[in-house]
């Protein structure tokens, strides 16, 4: 087979087909915005049932946009037709860019990249949607660290405007320029972060959430009083404990552990109450219980 000819726009490769590994909340959100922006998408997950469920979720979210008037029915149908299910990594071979959006666990991500790269064409770019893990370390598990970059979307992807771009030590300029152009094509704004634990947004946001949990742990205020205080006293659209439930308490704990281990500063020590909730399996909205109980019609504080 003849070697692929590298297509360039400016300093980087033109991205027309995007592969996404992980059909959870983040992966389906990324697939949604890519397809709605005119890109071909190949969605992969090791769980075939999750793949089908992910496609149904994308369809539901696109339909919601139609109901709101931000998308036409023809646009919804066309976007959905651009998404193909990739049952194995071989199906990601034609992709110009593959974004990993699997669970926030370094060993899992490294294994994905090791298994993925042999299926990719030589000029394909590889990215991770990690919210905290070292881009340089993850890049080292691939055969193309120069073509590897962090592309950190915010949750929920179709709504949030910002995307963090994080360069590893080996990331070359054309890779960064390609990623920046890709984010622009999605109609989003990118900001560049250096490769330090948790990058910019989570470096600031998660310690605030962790401090809110300490405030609860130490009995300074209840769940309701803490969230009300920050919504009305700091003009936050969502209280920090409500936000923690939305993010997932396991993800919050993972990011705090990365900060604590990576920066060796006691101010990043995860609150014991956060650890306890995760150990109990109370991870927030996705398990119906966290700092709030979501099993009824209205969320009820659990403390």
pLDDT in tens, 150-182: 999 999 999 999 999 999 999 999 999 999 999
Active-site hit among 164, 178, 210, 254: 164
Place of tokens 């959905």: 80
Mean pLDDT, residues 259-264:
94
Q: What is the pLDDT of residues 9-47, one digit of tens each?
A: 445 789 999 999 999 999 999 999 999 999 999 999 999
Active-site hit among 61, 104, 152, 178: 152
Ordered by where they begin, the domains of the chain are 8-193 (3.40.50.720), 201-301 (1.10.1040.50)
Of 160, 299, 154, 134, the closest CA to residue 224 belongs to 299
Q: Distance between CA atoms of 52 and 43, rounded to whole angstroms?
A: 10
**Among this protein's residues, is 178 annotated catalytic?**
no
**Among this protein's residues, is 164 annotated catalytic?**
yes
Judged on CB neighbours under 10 Å (0-12, 13-18, 19+), 293 is: middle
Active-site hit among 44, 61, 141, 202: 202
**Among this protein's residues, is 134 annotated catalytic?**
no
Q: What is the pLDDT of residues 42-79, one digit of tens each?
A: 999 999 889 999 999 999 999 999 999 999 999 999 99
**Among this protein's residues, is 152 annotated catalytic?**
yes
Q: Residue 186 — φ and ψ, nearest 5°?
A: -80, -5
Active-site hit among 44, 61, 131, 210: 131
């Amino acid at each position: 087979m003849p070697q692929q000819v590298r297509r360039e726009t400016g300093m980087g490769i033109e991205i027309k087909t995007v592969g996404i590994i992980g059909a959870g909340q983040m992966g389906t959100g990324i697939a949604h915005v890519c397809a709605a922006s005119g890109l071909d998408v190949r969605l992969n997950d090791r769980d075939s049932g999750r793949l089908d469920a992910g496609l149904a979720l994308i369809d539901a979210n696109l339909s919601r946009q139609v109901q709101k008037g931000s998308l036409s029915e023809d646009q919804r149908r066309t976007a959905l037709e651009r998404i193909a299910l990739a049952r194995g990594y071989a199906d990601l071979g034609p992709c110009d860019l593959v974004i990993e959006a699997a669970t926030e666990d370094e060993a899992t991500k490294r294994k994905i990249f090791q298994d993925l790269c042999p299926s990719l064409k030589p000029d394909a770019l590889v990215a991770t949607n990690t919210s905290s893990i070292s881009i340089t370390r993850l890049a080292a598990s691939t055969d193309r660290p120069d073509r590897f970059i962090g592309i950190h979307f915010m949750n929920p992807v179709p709504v949030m405007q910002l995307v963090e771009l994080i360069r590893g030590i080996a990331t070359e300029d054309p890779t960064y320029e390609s990623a920046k152009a890709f984010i622009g094509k999605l109609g989003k704004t990118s900001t560049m972060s250096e490769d330090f634990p948790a990058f910019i947004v989570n470096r600031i946001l998660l310690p605030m959430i962790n401090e809110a949990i300490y405030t609860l742990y130490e009995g300074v205020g209840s769940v309701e009083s803490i969230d009300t205080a920050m919504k009305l006293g700091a003009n936050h659209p969502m209280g920090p404990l409500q936000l923690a439930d939305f993010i997932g308490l396991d993800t919050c704990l993972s990011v705090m552990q990365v900060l604590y281990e990576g920066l060796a500063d006691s101010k990043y020590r995860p609150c014991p109450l956060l650890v306890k909730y995760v150990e109990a399996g109370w991870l927030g909205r996705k398990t119906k219980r966290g700092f709030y109980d979501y099993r009824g019609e209205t969320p009820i504080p659990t403390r």
